[in-house]
Amino acid sequence: MKKLIIELLKGNKSAAARLISIIENDEAARRNILKRLKPYIGKAHIVGITGAPGSGKSTLIDSLIRLLRKNKKTVGVVAIDPTSPITGGSILGDRTRMANHSMDDGVFIRSMATGGRLGGLSKTAFDAALVLDALGKDIIFIETAGVGQSETAVKDIVHTVVLVLTPGLGDDVQMMKAGIMEIADIFVVNKSDLKNAEETARSIDDMISLLPQKKKMLSVILTVASEGKGIERLLEKIEGYRSRCTSKPFDTRKSKL
């Protein structure tokens, strides 16, 4: 264990992968690893990317990685995939998504199954992000499995929440206000080349205008992630939120390290 942690702190991706696997499978070892890593975490900006299935979360992250690497930033991704309630299996996306970055030493991508947990997260998603923080990644994306209106768990483990929506929501935005809409720091209307994108953005703006004054700093960004459109502006907003982060997720997380 000690040797793996030493290698991790040197930037060894294989050590990171092995430590995450241990954390997933051994509770006692998990606590020991996180205790040893605590002095080395807290530098990365942890960003939650959430939204309904099919909203384009993975494509959005792929475009953000491309831009971040162009800017000489290192990136970690913890991508959560649903577990089948029938077979108990899961198609883990590290074999298929973001394939263009798999050989890049500056990028580490790990898929994890929900294990049937609600909220679009796995039990050890946050722990995996802490390992990538200790690995030295500048920014870490936690991509939730596709979520619904009431699934808001991601807000408890990240600095910044990006909610990815698609055009055509209309009045549904108001219906969603009591749940997932309230946790977002940045709203992304992806696939904005489709009809009703501007209408959806206006609906979100109208919702924001009804929130308390302290929440009116929220941003609405239109993107076409598959073409890289709007990604630079989105990254600017994400990086802007980093300067507002006064606490780290692991400072307030309920579970013990």
Residues 182-241: tens digit of each pLDDT? 889 999 999 999 988 999 898 888 888 877 765 667 889 999 999 999 999 999 999 988
Please, where are the H alpha helices in the chain?
2-9, 13-25, 27-37, 57-70, 125-135, 172-176, 197-209, 231-242, 249-252
| Total of domains in the chain | 1
Task: Round to whole Å and give the CA distance between 4 and 139.
Answer: 22
Q: What local confidence, expressed as pLDDT, does residue 218 receive?
A: 85
* pLDDT reported for residue 3: 94
Percent share of the chain, pLDDT over 90: 54
As a whole number, the mean pLDDT across the chain is: 84
C-alpha distance from residue 5 to each of 19, 65, 165, 250 (Å) = 8, 26, 38, 19
Chain segment 26-80, per-residue pLDDT in tens: 999 999 999 999 999 999 999 999 988 888 999 999 999 999 999 999 999 999 9
**Using only C-alpha atoms, what is the Rg of the chain?**
18
Residue 102 has pLDDT above 90, yes or no: no
**Domain containing residue 244:** 2-252
Q: What b/e sequence results for 180-193 when a residue is b if at least 16 CB atoms lie within 10 Å of its CB, and e otherwise?
A: bbebbbbbbbbbbe
Using DSSP bridges, classify how beta strands 160-165 and 139-143 pair: parallel, antiparallel or unpaired.
unpaired
**Assigned domain for 257 exists:** no
27 occurs within a structural domain: yes
Per-residue pLDDT for 84 more than 90? Answer: no
Residues 155/162, Cβ–Cβ less than 8 Å: no
Amino acid at 167: P
- The CATH number of the domain where 66 resides is what? 3.40.50.300
What is the residue-wise DSSP string for 38-92? GGG-S-SEEEEEEESTTS-HHHHHHHHHHHHHHTT--EEEEEEEPPPTTT-----
| pLDDT at residue 150 tops 70 | no
pLDDT score recorded for residue 253: 45
Q: What pLDDT sits at residue 101?
A: 84
Between these two residues, 125 and 215, which has the higher pLDDT value? 125
Using a pLDDT cut of 70, give the percent of the chain over it: 78
pTM score, two decimals? 0.88
Can you tell me the distance from the alpha carbon of 82 to that of 67, in angstroms, rounded to the nearest whole number? Answer: 28
If you search the block for the tokens 């995450």, which residue do you land on?
Answer: 20
The answer to the question of residue 158 being in a domain is: yes
